[in-house]
Amino acid sequence: MPGTNSRELLTITAAAERLSIHRSTIWRAVRRGELPALRLGRRFFVDVTDLGQLAVQQAQKRAGSGKAEAENPPVAPVAAAPPEHKTEGCEPGGQP
């Protein structure tokens, strides 16, 4: 029908599945205003177009955080050396 504006809407769960992320990530984006949502009754829906924009933003954030880690790699903790045992004056069974 000409003149109609049809949009593909997804539930929060379906949107999370589409992006392979957790539902709470979608909810967080909705609460922050990063992802517009439409409430119909008790259910919330997001537009696929807006979801695509969120996916791009998430990818940029991940790429940006990876860059910072590459410049400053995490330092692995060094295990302490075991204490040295004095063997002087000991018999071969460990008894003096």
- The full set of domain ranges for the chain reads 9-69
**Dihedral through CA 50, CA 22, CA 61, CA 55, nearest 10?**
-30
Query: Which of 14, 7, 13 is CA-nearest to residue 50?
Result: 7
Phi–psi pair at 62, nearest 5 degrees: -65, -40
Q: How many CA atoms lie within 13 A of 83 on its CB side?
A: 3
* Higher pLDDT among residues 39 and 83, named by residue: 39
Q: How far is 29 from 49, CA to CA, in rounded Å?
A: 15
Query: Which of 20, 12, 16 is CA-nearest to residue 43?
Result: 12
Fold of 9-69: Multidrug-efflux Transporter Regulator; Chain: A; Domain 2 (1.10.1660)
* Higher pLDDT among residues 96 and 7, named by residue: 7
pLDDT of residue 54: 87
Q: What is the pLDDT of residues 18-71, one digit of tens each?
A: 999 999 999 999 999 999 999 999 999 999 999 988 888 888 888 886 554 555
Query: What type of residue is 37?
Result: A
Query: Which of 4, 30, 1, 2 is CA-nearest to residue 13?
Result: 30
